């Protein structure tokens, strides 16, 4: 190592005295030796010091050439790769950000947080993109970055990142299609995606993923209000339940315990109205969740901070003949345990913001008529 330090000292002096042409030749020679040879990490470190010092004093065009040569090299010195990755010039940073196997997550996150959209786009095209990096790209990236990362099969997503992209997909058919083709997207977020998607996107997804036909059909039906209801807002049972629950709500007595009690008593109307009030959702949306969408029931329960006991009671309430097999119940329990409250609240906000015609018509506009009838 002493010899290496002496060599580096001599190199520094040579760099200071050398011309741009001589520095470029030295850089090219050192890079060629590094790429074509086999070295230990200590030897690669020495090369890194040499190449790094030369890279600091050469022009952008020369750094860009260096970046292209080192981008896919397993021998590339880590310090040089980090230096190039954080270059403001995309011509320099781009090849390294997209291809280099020597970059660590911290450097990728730093680039995603501080550099241009072109830098982010290069990162989004990497062979593998871990969750922390994907989160940054989704948060800061523009439309092109979002589409690119959604289409990258090597990218890994947190549920929060999926949620943000689903929100952004409204009006962006390319992003919606890219998201819909990802097999790991959570079911409840896929349903939100389909509810927002255009007919063209749904048709493309059906062609690409025929296995999703039933799921897409159910999601569209839920979004457009075409599913059959067990009771409607104009029925006598609903009117009585609404009076009972509304009075409880006004006294401040509508709580998780109330919902649990309604569910255990198989009082679907009261449980539906109560959840509707607590979640600020149209009644028919809540009812369809209870009867047809158990995954959404768990989302609502998680968002409201309910316990598994209450969530389980709601699942039994909406199940056919109020029965669920032990195996299926265990699977739902595991799903409930995996749900994140912050993400579930985000899904709830999506439902709250969706002004679907069926929800507005049957869940809100007809309520005053019911009150006047009493």
Sign of the CA dihedral running 183, 185, 191, 195: negative
Question: What are 165-191's pLDDT values in tens digits?
Answer: 998 998 899 999 999 889 898 877 887
Q: What is the pLDDT of residue 22?
A: 60
Q: Which residues contact 153 (CB under 8 A, 6 or more apart)?
A: none
The number of CA neighbours under 13 Å toward the Cβ of 273 is 22
Whether the predicted pLDDT of 130 surpasses 90: yes
Question: What are 58-105's pLDDT values in tens digits?
Answer: 677 878 888 898 898 888 888 889 989 999 999 999 999 999 999 999
- DSSP element (H, E) containing 285: helix 283-292
The average pLDDT across 121-138 equals 97
Q: What is the pLDDT of residue 226?
A: 42
pLDDT: which is higher, 235 or 130: 130
Per-residue pLDDT band for 11 (boundaries 50, 70, 90) equals low
Whether the predicted pLDDT of 154 surpasses 90: yes
Q: Which residue from 352, 311, 313 is spatially nearest to 334, judged by alpha carbons? A: 311
Whether the predicted pLDDT of 10 surpasses 60: no
Whether the predicted pLDDT of 370 surpasses 50: no
Q: What is the pLDDT of residue 364?
A: 39
**Bridge partners of residue 129, in order along the sequence:** 155
The least confident of 156-170, 179-193, 328-342, 353-367 is 353-367
Contact 229, 284 (CB under 8 A): yes
Q: What is the pLDDT of residue 347?
A: 83
Q: What is the pLDDT of residue 263?
A: 93
Q: What is the pLDDT of residue 241?
A: 82
The average pLDDT across 360-367 equals 38
Write down the number of H helices and E strands in the chain: 25, 0
The average pLDDT across 135-150 equals 96
Q: What is the pLDDT of residue 43?
A: 67
Per-residue pLDDT band for 37 (boundaries 50, 70, 90) equals low
d(CA 274, CA 28): 73
Question: What are 269-313's pLDDT values in tens digits?
Answer: 899 999 999 998 888 888 888 888 888 899 999 999 999 999 999
Number of neighbouring beta carbons within 10 Å of residue 221: 14
Number of neighbouring beta carbons within 10 Å of residue 109: 17
- pTM score of the predicted model: 0.59
- Calculate what percentage of the chain has a pLDDT beyond 90: 38
Q: What is the pLDDT of residue 213?
A: 66
């Amino acid at each position: 190592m002493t010899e290496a330090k002496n060599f580096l000292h001599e190199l520094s002096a040579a760099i200071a005295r050398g011309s741009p042409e001589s520095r470029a030749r030295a850089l090219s020679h050192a890079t060629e030796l590094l790429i074509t040879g086999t070295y230990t990490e200590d030897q690669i470190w020495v090369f890194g010091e040499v190449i790094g010092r030369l890279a600091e004093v050469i022009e952008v065009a020369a750094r860009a050439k260096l970046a292209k040569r080192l981008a896919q090299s397993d021998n590339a010195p880590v310090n040089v790769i980090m230096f190039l990755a954080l270059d403001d010039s995309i011509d320099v940073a781009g090849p390294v950000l997209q291809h280099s196997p020597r970059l660590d997550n911290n450097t990728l996150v730093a680039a995603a947080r501080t550099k241009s959209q072109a830098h982010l786009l290069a990162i989004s095209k990497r062979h593998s993109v871990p969750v922390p990096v994907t989160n940054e790209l989704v948060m800061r990236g523009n439309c092109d970055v979002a589409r690119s990362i959604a289409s990258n099969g090597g990218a890994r997503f947190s549920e929060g990142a999926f949620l943000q992209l689903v929100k952004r997909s409204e009006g962006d058919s390319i992003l919606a299609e890219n998201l819909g083709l990802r097999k790991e997207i959570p079911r409840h977020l896929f349903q939100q995606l389909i509810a927002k998607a255009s007919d063209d996107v749904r048709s493309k997804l059906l062609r690409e993923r025929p296995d999703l036909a039933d799921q897409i059909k159910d999601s569209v039906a839920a979004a457009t209000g075409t599913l059959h209801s067990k009771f409607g807002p104009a029925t006598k049972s609903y009117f009585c339940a609404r009076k009972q629950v509304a009075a409880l709500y006004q006294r401040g007595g509508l709580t998780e315990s109330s919902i649990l009690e309604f569910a255990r008593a198989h009082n679907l109307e009261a449980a539906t109205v109560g959840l509707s009030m607590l979640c600020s959702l149209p009644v028919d949306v809540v009812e369809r969740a209870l009867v047809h969408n158990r995954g959404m029931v768990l989302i609502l329960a998680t968002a409201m901070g309910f316990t598994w006991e209450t969530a389980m009671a709601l699942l039994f309430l909406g199940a056919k003949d109020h029965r669920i097999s032990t195996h299926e119940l265990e699977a739902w329990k595991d799903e409930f345990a995996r749900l994140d409250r912050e993400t579930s609240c985000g899904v709830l906000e999506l439902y709250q913001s969706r002004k679907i015609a069926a929800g507005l018509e049957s869940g809100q506009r007809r309520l005053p008529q019911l009150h006047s009838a009493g």
